[in-house]
Structure 1
Amino acid sequence: MENTTNVIDDLKMLKRRGDLMLVYKHKKTGNLYLKLDEAKNCTNANDGQQMMYYCEYGKENPMKFVRERSEFLEKFEALRL
């Protein structure tokens, strides 16, 4: 796992520059993720469902994910910098 102190220092620097990024920590694993955006699911079975679009933080080629907003907010916590 990447050194969390260095990642948090990087985020503080971005915040000082005005590049506010929403970073979340997975409550179970401690892994960090960058919230990219929110979207609405328009598939027939889940039409209107609010989704979170996010990716791994601090990786060269980060994987991207989509998760239902309510589930995301249960499993992740926003970092306060």
Structure 2
Amino acid sequence: MENIEIYELLGYVKISPYRTNTLKIISDDLKMPSEIAKELNVKTSQVSSALHDLKEKDLVICVNEEVRKGRLYKCTDLGKEIIKKL
């Protein structure tokens, strides 16, 4: 991926504290939205929105998309690259 694209993604993440903090919290772990919300002391709906945005940009993936409750998210390699630059 070119530097310009990386910097665009970096700006996209940094413009939202929810996206930034959600990505940082997940880092190398598997996390549920409720766990992230508890750690950040924010509403689960805010985390879910941030995860949706991060997923659209291929920065996180849901490893068990088929379940309704207990979804687990992890960073993609691109997401980890962005975390290094935060």
What TM-score, normalized by structure 2, do the two folds share? Answer: 0.29
Between Structure 1 and Structure 2, which shows a larger proportion of strand residues? 1
What TM-score, normalized by structure 1, do the two folds share? Answer: 0.30
**Relative contact order, higher structure (CA 8 A, sep 6+):** 2
Between Structure 1 and Structure 2, which shows a larger proportion of helix residues? 2
Q: Considering only CA atoms, is the larger Rg found in Structure 1 or Structure 2?
A: 1
